[in-house]
Amino acid sequence: MSGISRLGEMIDGARARLCFAARMTALLTLTLMAAPAHSQEPETTVFTGGMLISGLSVPPLHDATIVVQGERIVAVGPTAEVAIPENARIIDTSGRTMMPGLIDAHAHLFMVGYGSEAHWFEWLEGEGSHYSIEQIMELSGYQMLMSGVTGAIDLGGNAEESVSVRNRINAGGIAGPRLQVSGPLVTRRAFGGFPDAASAVLSSPREGVEIVNRLHRIGVDVIKLHAGLTREDYFAMVEAAHANGMKVHAHLYDEPALRNAIDAGVDVFQHVGSAGMPTYSDEIVKEVAGTFRPIVLTAAHRSWIYPDTVAFPGRLEDPAIKALFPEDIWAAVQHSFEEWPSEGYFARIDRQIAYRSPQVKQWIASNAVMGVGTDSGTPMNFNHDGLIREMKVLVDEGMSPLEVIRDTTRVNAQIMGMRDIGTIEPGKYADIIVVPGDPVYAELNNLFSVQVVMKGGVLYKLDGEPTIPLPF
């Protein structure tokens, strides 16, 4: 068991007595136990020498320095102008780039990229597996964090497990991104491939309101409206969610559903532009852009993953991904790929490949506010590389690398409503990653090999190696 896991148990016991700040300081102290003796002052880490992409709409800064004290950034600027505190741990980033931790605005931590959603949950419940859904979420959180994802919104899973994993990550007990969770898909028809607990089924707007209120009591952060809902359902549940202070994310492909979601006040339009149809009408695209409410395309899953995998089947055996799996889960995942081209998940792939590029280009041209999300965990859409693949699609379809980084960091932080993350500025949480070379020139390809990951002042990856082992 890792130092962080042990610490988590200690923290669980002492939670009532410790305030959040004290817990985080304790975490930092224990995590760095292997480091040389330190004073009672908060640990200080300095990143210096490399290029800085701050997440703000400004050009990169060359030869920059970031000073981190405890869990927060305390100074940022040109190296010549930033005082480096004595006894600080120095991370030389020369020839590399420092940037905010990435945020995934649409993840599913209870899946890991298995070739078929339904068969994944059958395997998980069968005799070959001794893992709980909560453990899988823990594994996915670890995979994401080691890939530079320090924040995520989980949009569809089991409510109790989702809330528990979020709380354990926040308490420092396990390694994972800062999480917001929706719990189940709220829908008129249960989603076949998922466990029963991952759908909340209503047959009237009134039942929908009861579901929203129940999920609020369980402690979810946001509501995920799924398919088949009536106009009245959207209105009733958005009102109930907002009354509880929760944002509503809606799973939307077709235009009538989007129409209802816009009118009802849905906060985030998920999957819009994800190759469900040829293109949207100009009127509705303009209208969405004019609401300044964000869309999250989730473009890369399915319609880019499929042809990418045909072109290079070896991506399914990538050792960098294998290293983030326990052996038995990896073996099951490999087995699941044997018949992948015929899986139902890809039943409409020819049309989706035809629609993908016109749709993504249409939404980029609209200048709608755009978050970046993956639907990660879906078939062959690994938690390790899903977000980088999504970012690359946006670059390939016409956005600049800096725009895509901005949307994956600052804009996604705004979608989460978290003011303390998403950019590298004094006062913010120290959620920082370091990548080789220049991601602007490399069109984000070097994000596949994140070398340093810090979240809240704690180093989870250094010199390309995790500082803590796989959770199991």
Q: What minimum distance in Å lies between the beta carbon of 285 and Zn ion?
A: 20
CA dist., res. 148 & res. 432, Å (int): 8
Closer residue to Zn ion, CB minimum distance, 96 or 249 = 249
Residues 6 or more apart whose CB falls under 8 angstroms from that of 71 comprise: 21, 24, 25, 28, 429, 430, 456, 457, 458
Closer residue to Zn ion, CB minimum distance, 44 or 298 = 298
Task: Tell me the angle at which helices 133-146 and 159-170 cross, rounded to the nearest 10 degrees.
Answer: 40
Q: What minimum distance in Å lies between the beta carbon of 375 and Zn ion?
A: 4
Phi-psi region of 377 (alpha: psi -120 to 50; beta: other; left: phi over 0): left
Q: What minimum distance in Å lies between the beta carbon of 377 and Zn ion?
A: 8
Closer residue to Zn ion, CB minimum distance, 375 or 407 = 375
CA dist., res. 295 & res. 272, Å (int): 6
Closest of 395, 422, 394 to residue 406, by C-alpha: 422
Residues 6 or more apart whose CB falls under 8 angstroms from that of 186 comprise: 200, 202, 208, 211, 212, 215, 223, 224, 225, 226, 229, 237
Residues facing 99 on adjacent strands: 433
289, HSE (Cβ side, Cα atoms, 13 Å) = 15
- Select the residue whose beta carbon is closest to Zn ion and give its number: 251
* Neighbouring C-beta atoms of residue 186, cutoff 10 Å: 27
Which one of 238-246, 259-267, 372-380, 383-391 is the stretch in contact with Zn ion (CB under 5 A)?
A: 372-380
Q: What minimum distance in Å lies between the beta carbon of 304 and Zn ion?
A: 16
Q: What minimum distance in Å lies between the beta carbon of 185 and Zn ion?
A: 7
Establish if 375 lies at the interface with Zn ion (CB under 5 A). Answer: yes
Residues within window 37-66 making contact with Zn ion, judged by CB under 5 A: none
Q: What minimum distance in Å lies between the beta carbon of 257 and Zn ion?
A: 12
Which one of 76-84, 244-252, 255-263, 453-461 is the stretch in contact with Zn ion (CB under 5 A)?
A: 244-252
How many binding residues for Zn ion (CB under 5 A)?
2
CA dist., res. 399 & res. 391, Å (int): 9
Q: Residue 115 phi/psi, 5° resolution?
A: -65, -20
Closer residue to Zn ion, CB minimum distance, 251 or 356 = 251
Q: What minimum distance in Å lies between the beta carbon of 346 and Zn ion?
A: 16
Closest of 385, 461, 458 to residue 7, by C-alpha: 458
Residues facing 370 on adjacent strands: 295
Establish if 251 lies at the interface with Zn ion (CB under 5 A). Answer: yes
CA dist., res. 184 & res. 156, Å (int): 5
Closer residue to Zn ion, CB minimum distance, 226 or 392 = 226
Please tell me the chain's helix, strand, coil percentages from 3-state DSSP, rounded to the nearest 5.
Answer: 40, 20, 40
* Chain-centre distance for alpha carbon 148: 10
Which one of 31-39, 206-214, 345-353, 368-376 is the stretch in contact with Zn ion (CB under 5 A)?
A: 368-376
Q: What minimum distance in Å lies between the beta carbon of 270 and Zn ion?
A: 6
Q: What minimum distance in Å lies between the beta carbon of 297 and Zn ion?
A: 12
Which one of 245-253, 259-267, 289-297, 432-440 is the stretch in contact with Zn ion (CB under 5 A)?
A: 245-253
Establish if 302 lies at the interface with Zn ion (CB under 5 A). Answer: no
Closer residue to Zn ion, CB minimum distance, 76 or 268 = 268
Establish if 431 lies at the interface with Zn ion (CB under 5 A). Answer: no
Closer residue to Zn ion, CB minimum distance, 168 or 251 = 251
Structure tokens, 286: 């303009």
Question: In degrees to the nearest 10, what's the CA dihedral of 212, 218, 224, 226?
Answer: -70
Rg over alpha carbons for the chain, rounded to the nearest Å, is 21
Closer residue to Zn ion, CB minimum distance, 71 or 221 = 221
426: DSSP letter: T
Which one of 160-168, 254-262, 273-281, 367-375 is the stretch in contact with Zn ion (CB under 5 A)?
A: 367-375
Which one of 9-17, 251-259, 299-307, 447-455 is the stretch in contact with Zn ion (CB under 5 A)?
A: 251-259
Q: What minimum distance in Å lies between the beta carbon of 385 and Zn ion?
A: 17
Q: What minimum distance in Å lies between the beta carbon of 302 and Zn ion?
A: 11
Task: Tell me the angle at which helices 282-291 and 349-366 cross, rounded to the nearest 10 degrees.
Answer: 50
Closer residue to Zn ion, CB minimum distance, 166 or 251 = 251
User: Which x/- pattern, by CB under 5 A, does the window 148-187 give for Zn ion?
Assistant: ----------------------------------------
Establish if 301 lies at the interface with Zn ion (CB under 5 A). Answer: no
Which one of 24-32, 75-83, 375-383, 413-421 is the stretch in contact with Zn ion (CB under 5 A)?
A: 375-383
Closer residue to Zn ion, CB minimum distance, 199 or 446 = 199
Residues in touch with Zn ion (CB under 5 A):
251, 375
